[in-house]
Amino acid sequence: MVTLGCARNEVDSEELAARLESAGWRLGDDDPDVIVVNTCGFIESAKKDSIDTLLAAADSGAKVVAAGCMAERYGAELAEALPEAAAVISFDDYTDIGGRLDDVLAGRSLKPHMPRDRRTLLPISPVERTAGHAHVPGHGVLPEGMAPASGPRALRKRLTGGPVAPLKLASGCDRRCTFCAIPAFRGAYVSRSPDDLVAEAAWLAEQGVRELVLVSENSTSYGKDLGDLRALEKLLPRLAGVDGVERVRVSYLQPAELRPGLLEVIATTPGVAPYFDLSFQHASGPVLRRMRRFGDPARFLDLLAQVRERAPEAGVRSNFIVGFPGETEAEFAELVDFLTAARLDVIGVFGYSDEDGTEAAAFDGKLDQEVIDERVAVLTELAEELTAQRAEERIGSELEVLVEEDLGDGGYEGRAAHQGPEVDGSVTVQGIGLVPGQIVRAVAVDSEGVDLIARIKAGS
């Protein structure tokens, strides 16, 4: 099983792995019969990476199955363009993934599905509605290490160790940003039930997980389809109260949907990281409206002020699209000014590119690629300088560091509450006898870019 893309795909792969083992398949790296590649289809570079990975897997001599977002998005088109793949499967195939791989191994042909955005007039099945986390009822005793029943069962098997794991709140998205194709192939937003999430959190804690990272296409939408706009506010304290869970982190928050009550819960609830992964995408009001999003520098800076009023040491990260159709020099300058004032901990910069089936792909005012590349370079250099300055500001502050790895020679790598996994930097702690999964109090004594160096606080 090879997983590409985001943490939501990681959870999908773990659910597929559990279903496969339940169906009699064994996962392993040595001489596999079948390689399942859980692809990403979000942007052009991710699609290229998916194709390269599928081709490399085919060179191994194993039968290759394309799954995930790119397979769902392009279906039969991908199968035609990539004859090296033995099958291209859709989200509909996930509940019987074992049977699908039985067919592949036996040489039985699987008819590629029609891309989802071309099936809009067809009835939507319950499996499609859950878009990758369909419940699988009817199992008896499960193999060791597999998630137990939590109401209608969602099977899951951890594929990686460590004290941090994603927990998927929902799948799909109801927003219609003009640059994004996700709703076309992930479908409508579907929240998981709070009780199922708490039960899965308890199981993850039993597996040694100490930090839960809540993931979805838009976490601030959680509960809307359940008829409760305050569902996430109620869920977070429940998850933080699960025995063994030390920290809960929420990812992907829409600034326009970050209600005061939710902001308060994230900023002040014990066990919930004061961490705000805010999807700004730009700062200029006119650009945001062309993106079919909302906000402007004044509103965004006011939101950041509210966050820091409640939690002065809160971590804030965001991504920004540069070179959106029609972006003027003045609008780009507005974005530069906003970033300078915002004091974000992590800034991701992406150059705009057309995505199949999106509204923006048909917009006038496309910028030359040279202009986009130049603006990306300017903003990236600024982002590196600003985030390094922000890390320097944290020198002398007290951190709660979740230890993740023993580096040897008395050094340990971990993350503070303001740092999300993998992309937000880390903390190197000097100490003795620390173990992964332990949370220690330390004081930041130096910084290197966005990374911090810290010493264990005396008495902790």
Q: How confident is the model at residue 346 (pLDDT cuts 50, 70, 90)?
A: very high
- Asked if pLDDT for residue 108 goes beyond 50, the answer is yes
Residue that has been written with the tokens 């230890």 in this structure: 403
Nearest alpha-carbon partner for 319 in 292, 284, 348: 348
Confidence at residue 114, expressed as pLDDT on a 0 to 100 scale = 66
Confidence at residue 460, expressed as pLDDT on a 0 to 100 scale = 59
The helix or strand, by DSSP H or E, that contains position 201, with its residue range, turns out to be helix 194-206
End-to-end CA distance of the chain: 41
- Asked if pLDDT for residue 175 goes beyond 80, the answer is yes
Q: How confident is the model at residue 171 (pLDDT cuts 50, 70, 90)?
A: confident
Average of per-residue pLDDT across 55-82:
88
Distance of CA 338 to the CA centre of its chain: 25
Range with the poorest average pLDDT among 37-41, 240-244, 300-304, 365-369: 37-41
Higher pLDDT, 285 or 173: 285
Confidence at residue 242, expressed as pLDDT on a 0 to 100 scale = 97
Residue that has been written with the tokens 């540069």 in this structure: 322
Q: How confident is the model at residue 399 (pLDDT cuts 50, 70, 90)?
A: very high
Measure the CA dihedral 3/361/219/381, to 10°.
Answer: 80
Tell how strand 398-408 and strand 439-448 pair up: antiparallel
Q: How far apart are CA 360 and CA 178, in angstroms?
A: 5
Average of per-residue pLDDT across 59-85:
88
Tell me if 387 sits within 8 A of 450, measured CB to CB: yes
Q: How far apart are CA 434 and CA 441, in angstroms?
A: 12
Q: How confident is the model at residue 459 (pLDDT cuts 50, 70, 90)?
A: low
- Asked if pLDDT for residue 457 goes beyond 90, the answer is no
Confidence at residue 154, expressed as pLDDT on a 0 to 100 scale = 60
Higher pLDDT, 113 or 198: 198
Q: How confident is the model at residue 430 (pLDDT cuts 50, 70, 90)?
A: confident
Evaluated on CA atoms 35, 38, 41, 44, the torsion sign reads: negative
Confidence at residue 181, expressed as pLDDT on a 0 to 100 scale = 85
Q: Give strand pairing partners of 317.
A: 277, 346
Higher pLDDT, 303 or 138: 303
Average of per-residue pLDDT across 263-268:
98
The helix or strand, by DSSP H or E, that contains position 53, with its residue range, turns out to be helix 44-58
Q: How far is CA 184 from CA 65, 80, 94, 371, in A?
A: 22, 21, 18, 29
| Average pLDDT of the chain, as a whole number | 88
What is the percent of the chain where pLDDT is above 90?
67
Q: How far apart are CA 303 and CA 324, in angstroms?
A: 24
Q: How far is CA 454 from CA 211, 311, 351, 428, in A?
A: 20, 21, 35, 6
- Asked if pLDDT for residue 121 goes beyond 60, the answer is no
Q: How far apart are CA 167 and CA 200, in angstroms?
A: 8
Q: Which two tokens stand for residue 175?
A: 């927003």
- For 416: left if phi > 0, alpha if psi spans -120 to 50, otherwise beta; the answer is beta
Q: How far apart are CA 71 and CA 78, in angstroms?
A: 7
3-state SS class at 178: coil
Tell me if 90 sits within 8 A of 119, measured CB to CB: no
pLDDT in tens, 7-17: 888 999 999 99
- For 302: left if phi > 0, alpha if psi spans -120 to 50, otherwise beta; the answer is alpha
Confidence at residue 139, expressed as pLDDT on a 0 to 100 scale = 40
Top mean pLDDT of 32-46, 102-116, 218-232 is at 218-232
pTM of the model: 0.88
Evaluated on CA atoms 215, 217, 218, 223, the torsion sign reads: negative
Residue type, 233: E
pLDDT in tens, 128-155: 333 333 333 334 444 555 444 333 356 7
Tell me if 379 sits within 8 A of 435, measured CB to CB: no
Confidence at residue 122, expressed as pLDDT on a 0 to 100 scale = 30
Tell me if 110 sits within 8 A of 103, measured CB to CB: yes
- Asked if pLDDT for residue 5 goes beyond 90, the answer is no
